[in-house]
Amino acid sequence: MSAGRSRTGPGLVGAAILGLFTLICLVMAVGALVPAVGEVMGVRDHGVGPMFGYLAGAAVWGLLALLAVWAHLSSRREPAPPEAASSPTADEAAGTDRGARPAGGGFAAGAAMPLPDGPGLGPRRLLATPLALVAAVLPWFGVAGLRAWETDWFGYTAVAGDEAAPSFTQRWLEQLVTPSPLMAVPALVALYVLLRREAVTSWPPACALGAGIVLLPTALLADVPDFGPISGKAVSYALALALVGTSHVFARLAVAALTRPIAADVADSGLDVTFRLPGQGLLPPRPRLLVRQDRLVLSGIGTGRDDVDEREMPWANVTEARVETRQTAEEWTPVAGQVWTVAVPAGPVLLIRGRGSDWVLPFDDEGEARSALALMTARAGRQM
């Protein structure tokens, strides 16, 4: 990617969503004084006091929309890629497409398959940004749903002949735009996603954490009606946990849209790319290989010691990298003297040799292992 190339504007997408919430609050503020508008919007409380409440909500969402625009304007240009230490010779360049770059760190470029160009970072962000924003703001929609579903509302709507009883949708919309301190959490998560554009591997845990912060206390306080023998509290907790998981899934889909399939546009970007190691059991920690612009990071190796739970290998320390097929299962100890091991089942492995340490990383699919090797080769070639 050339230096100074303009970014696609995910900040503007976020600003549009937040601006929509601002507009809804403003219309409901009008509905607090104008009965006809209030009936359409499902506004139950009328008068000057409720109007100022909706205006306060509009101010909160509007401020967040302005912050999203600022985030877009402050980071709308791609940083220039680091200059490679040397240019390829004419022989190296002959017959080589954009994806086959000279190797860095001492391992051969010929060991990796050439990378296709890919669709470009702009189209990837265009798909990933809405998914990430849904992951960030979905918990607030869940909070509004739980509040609208409480027993008090059911008791109100059960009154026979009460034509003024609002529908669930009207109650949900009203709760959605009612100002609350909990609004700040999904808004901050959305801003985090927009600002941390390269550290995409942190999006799923950030979205799940934000969802838990707003949904679990709401589930604790919500008075949801019982479902036969199942208590309403259990139902509310189940819904909250389901929404936390859904938020995490949407964030992972956003990361996948940005980083898969592996191609030259991903290698040229500053995106962190994760490869999860299979066959390690169901419980965390789950080891993973993180390919950054300037180094490899092996994280989640679970020794219980902060100084060895992450192992890093700069490109300059990589002496060899290749894909092999192991015929028998084995175990690999990432840190000498530690009892914790990585299970290496029979099948394809990515062998990375460095100064002072060797990594043996299992993969489910040989194609994925070769994609990781190609990405490493491309990024190392830019750094060396």
Domain CATH for 314: 2.30.29
Domain identity same for 253 and 280: no
Q: Which of 189, 224, 259 is the last residue of a domain?
A: 259
Cis bond upstream, residue 114 (ω within 30)? no
Domain identity same for 248 and 196: yes
For range 345-372, the mean pLDDT: 88
- List the beta bridge partners of residue 273: 291
Assess whether pLDDT exceeds 80 at residue 19. no
pLDDT digits 0-9 by tens, 313-357? 898 888 889 999 988 888 887 776 666 777 788 899 999 988 878
The dihedral over CA atoms of 366, 372, 378, 384, expressed in degrees to the nearest 10, equals -120
Domain identity same for 230 and 292: no
**193 to each of 13, 151, 294, 321, 322, how far by Cα in Å?**
12, 35, 22, 33, 34
For range 72-77, the mean pLDDT: 48
Assess whether pLDDT exceeds 70 at residue 375. yes
Q: Which of 259, 283, 299 is the last residue of a domain?
A: 259
With respect to residue 111, please indicate whether it lies within any of the assigned structural domains: no
pLDDT of amino acid 372 = 92
User: Where does the pLDDT of residue 42 fall: very low under 50, low under 70, confident under 90, or very high at 90 and above?
Assistant: low
Assess whether pLDDT exceeds 90 at residue 136. yes
Domain identity same for 371 and 293: yes
Distance in angstroms (rounded) separating the CA atoms of residues 129 and 102: 32
Assess whether pLDDT exceeds 60 at residue 36. yes
Assess whether pLDDT exceeds 90 at residue 245. yes
With respect to residue 366, please indicate whether it lies within any of the assigned structural domains: yes
Average pLDDT, the chain: 75
Domain identity same for 24 and 160: yes
With respect to residue 264, please indicate whether it lies within any of the assigned structural domains: no
Domain identity same for 251 and 287: no
Into how many domains does the chain fold?
2
With respect to residue 293, please indicate whether it lies within any of the assigned structural domains: yes
Query: What beta strand segments (E) does the chain contain?
Result: 273-276, 288-291, 295-299, 310-314, 318-326, 330-332, 342-344, 347-354, 357-362
Distance in angstroms (rounded) separating the CA atoms of residues 347 and 325: 5
Give the domain extent around 184: 10-77+118-259
With respect to residue 157, please indicate whether it lies within any of the assigned structural domains: yes
With respect to residue 353, please indicate whether it lies within any of the assigned structural domains: yes
How would you classify residue 95: left for phi > 0, otherwise alpha for psi between -120 and 50, otherwise beta?
left
Percent of all residues in the chain with a pLDDT value above 90, rounded to a whole number: 18
Domain identity same for 185 and 298: no
Q: Which of 259, 285, 318 is the last residue of a domain?
A: 259
With respect to residue 210, please indicate whether it lies within any of the assigned structural domains: yes
pLDDT of amino acid 231 = 75
Highest averaged pLDDT of the listed ranges 6-20, 222-236, 297-311, 338-352: 338-352
pLDDT of amino acid 84 = 37
Q: What is the DSSP string of 77-146?
A: BPPPPPPPSSPPPHHHHTT--TT-----TT--GGGSPPPP--S-HHHHHHHHHHHHHHHHHHHHHHHHHH
Domain identity same for 228 and 296: no
User: Where does the pLDDT of residue 108 fall: very low under 50, low under 70, confident under 90, or very high at 90 and above?
Assistant: very low
User: Where does the pLDDT of residue 83 fall: very low under 50, low under 70, confident under 90, or very high at 90 and above?
Assistant: very low
Least confident of 11-15, 29-33, 136-140, 172-176: 11-15
Domain identity same for 296 and 251: no
User: Where does the pLDDT of residue 109 fall: very low under 50, low under 70, confident under 90, or very high at 90 and above?
Assistant: very low
Domain identity same for 66 and 168: yes
For range 114-139, the mean pLDDT: 89
User: Where does the pLDDT of residue 279 fall: very low under 50, low under 70, confident under 90, or very high at 90 and above?
Assistant: low
pLDDT of amino acid 66 = 76
With respect to residue 341, please indicate whether it lies within any of the assigned structural domains: yes
Domain identity same for 169 and 247: yes
Domain identity same for 185 and 250: yes
Of 350, 294, 288, which is closest to residue 112 (Cα–Cα)? Answer: 350
Assess whether pLDDT exceeds 70 at residue 287. yes
